[in-house]
Structure 1
């Protein structure tokens, strides 16, 4: 019997039910549960759409942060986490969570983000303790940001929390990496005032600072303080103390350090032995240097080099030659002995020796060590060949190229990019050979590195300067430097500021070159294009970049461009502690150099009105450097020469 049709109302309110159950006559929908209230929204009847969900991520907590940090994160990913924290006011991290994130940032070199979390924690009313500050200072230490580390310590001393000895050690370590030795000694003097006791690490770092500053008396007092406090005098401390004696010429005290180490039944390490030999060599005590070599249990290649140099300084060339011969025989014997146990062990022996020769510049010994490996039918490996090529340096660049060719012939393979980079670095004074190497490396189909391009650009820039200094008219080397910069950008590489500055400096015409003005006319526009590329794509130009551009335009008598560059505020307001700043010259030095270059060009051209205009701008602009002696002399000279009394 067919069923009667459903009513319209029942047709939309009933669902399929198991057979045997009576249909419900109550058409009232059941009440929503709490879960359904928050997870469903009103939808048109009959539409089969999924319930809408809230896509807003939950606020970051310590648990979520631990999940993020448990995996391997890149610096950019960690920086994004910091940005999310700053932009989300719902973030709920404890002091421990902030500290863990700051530690990860410091290990990745993101010191700025680590410091910013201190301020965020304070705004979030999280108690900022000394541990968080220590992590931030350590992040600055790892990134060689001594100025920021000092700022954090100063803030702690003024506003709290009170720094502990770990804080001072981290700041002193940052000053050490930044070669701020005098400041390290000043901070060490603050430790007793803070009621703290220096640790062995503190003494070790500060004694190293004394050896760099020439504060020998203070270094000796610090060693005595360590002995009074029953701290162990490590061989590293003794090595730093010997370096102090080197500058004072106290070779006897240097030898006493060896005696004290042996009195404790210890063998002096290679660093202490080498430092003592250098002290004897500076005092022309070659007999004592030879005696140290004879008493050494396991002399390394660096010690042989130091003893040979000590003999040469004392004009004992026969003894120096004998020491070198002993070193070569020892290396060959070591290679033969290690070769019996496997190729890897032999490579390790030669690599250690060649790297020591690389540091000392002993190219002959380095090449001999590689030759010994080849004579025994062993492949030295790219690491050994790279170190030997680097030991050749710019003075023996032809030998570095010959080493590369010999490596190809003997191993029947192409050396790695690192070997090419070392040879290119040696070809700084041979730009054509550097370009040939670059072409050969590109023909192998391998990707070129930033270092490869940088070495080639530096070689072209140096080659152009040398050619023009000898009176050449146009070597086209400067043009190749600029074109290499463009090729690197096309390969997706960003060359560092130093290489970009080398390309910019190549656009500066040497004054002694014949027809220098005519040659400079074709250089200023590429220089400005390089500068514009740095502004748009990076790396960010620094004072050196703008100074080179000013000089390139000045040599081409493009006075309007010179005035525009000097008036630019984009470079005069650069912070001194930015990533590209030079450790040896301050911001004022570079900005003054730019003004000096422009003013001297105005003087040569007799443009007294431009000279006075720029000088007036320097005096009225608070961001500009104060006029230097060169600038003032140029202004006075051009006015006097042009009768503008």
Structure 2
């Protein structure tokens, strides 16, 4: 062995030890130690680790010094054999060579622990590094501490924190952060940046900013551009936008070379600052920030421009986003497809169809990848902007490139055909989808056939249905319903009825039996065409076959009866609609009518029926229901309800409706005259009105321009023993104002003030206008207003 050691013959030495084990048994610790040191001297660290492992197993008396293990670990670390380092650490720990709680072992235990932790960090073995540190703390506590423990172990919190950070276990890393920062010898700017980022990742933005503020003083390190970027991001996410912008500006203006030495970090900081503006919705600041950054020498990258575009899109500034995109292309920065599609999607949300189309053209001109998602977003944007002809154009272009539209794009295209009355184009859309192999679902077929039905294209519908059968597809109920509707629009009632009966007699497996939608379509066409007999027949038949009525059923019937002035039937149908809505409300069902216009017209027609039939109870219910549904109640509706009350002599109810009507600005003179007539009729009928009733009557007179009537009603109020309030005086003065009676208005004003009733701003303005018109009003410097007749208005 001595000869091999002297000659550096490590292979021969290993063979000698192996033969010795077989012949004489376990070699002595001295032999093992000599072999390990020989292997280390020859650079064979892994072989030394194997020998050490065998020696430790054989050395039951622990006569091999722990320093040998430390030497092996040191060389393994140098050779980046990190897995073997951990193996040696575990062996030394398990066999008791370290961690026995003795002060004499403090340095050895600490050094072995540090090497083990460094190996775990290199392997990102975050569980191992936590275990190593936990055992080290237990050893230190058992030994009572000491200078060796404290001095050499200060790097361990840094190692544990970095390992957990690299493993992206940010929450678990935080408990070690403060100890890592307090280790001045091992703490540096990189570690601090990791800590700030870790706090940001765990949404502890205020703490991240606090660490940044401690850097120059307490931690003794100057923040670099990466630090600024991380802090700007934390300020942005914590809502401190102004501070984020100021910090970025201060960095740009700084002459410190540390900021200029890392251009990518500067750009990252810019991105964080723009993101801060995005979060706060400050798109103008984002644009200004980007301009200032470029002047300061910061080069925006693809992420900078993409973030800026997103900021502008979120604020609805899609046109400006397009300008940024053009600038980006000019600088030869290629944006990601996801970023482009994101902008296009927001164009549809903000109804910027033309901008979206221009954006797509720039993408194609720059030879960027354009996908079906891009076209779908552009089609949606054009549809929202009501550019229906362009919707059809983009849809055709999409199919030309072999791209498959999604369900929304198909729906928008078919609806565009309907709105532009390009009914026959709907068939071309369906056939184009077939040609490109795009799957067409039942909903798309239903919409397409409905569009063709509105144009009464019977032949086209029949051809499409035949083509569907040739393709092995079965036309559904919606296709047959559309064909029936087309027959009805052409007046071919017999063919419509024959097809309807064919649907009724079809086997269940064909799934074309008439349903609620079929009946509603027939009822709608029948009522619109004046065939109320057929509509009523289908309405009755629905109940007989067990189909439930829905909102559309009742709306169609109500509008049909209203066209024929059959108001008794209108009221019966509306009662059914009320019962349906009440049942839905009890069951928690919220059903939106397909046509808001038809639904609103149905209420108005029913109010007209209430007026004709004198059904004041239903009229009041309808008004209340319209208010609850936030439906627009116009003066015609109010007038019909008042008329219904007046027909049955329900004057108090008419007055209540008038009070609602009085608050509106769009009431015409004719409606006010009608209301005034009803109120006067109420008074003449012997009903004793109160002050509120008189106020409403006087307001009605004022709105009709009847100032004499307003004064008579004012006198009648006193004769009835009632006391006028400020609103009464204001109403009479408004009537005098409309009749240009300034003297009467002035008398009323003086009387009002003498009774201690304070006029409102509108009353004073009316009086001033009247006096100015009569030449009785002037302005002075010492008084705000002065009336020449001797009364001063302060």
Compute the TM-score of the two structures, normalised by the length of structure 1.
Answer: 0.44
Structure with greater proportional helix content: 2
Larger RCO (CA within 8 A; separation ≥ 6): 1
Max Rg structure: 2
Compute the TM-score of the two structures, normalised by the length of structure 2.
Answer: 0.37
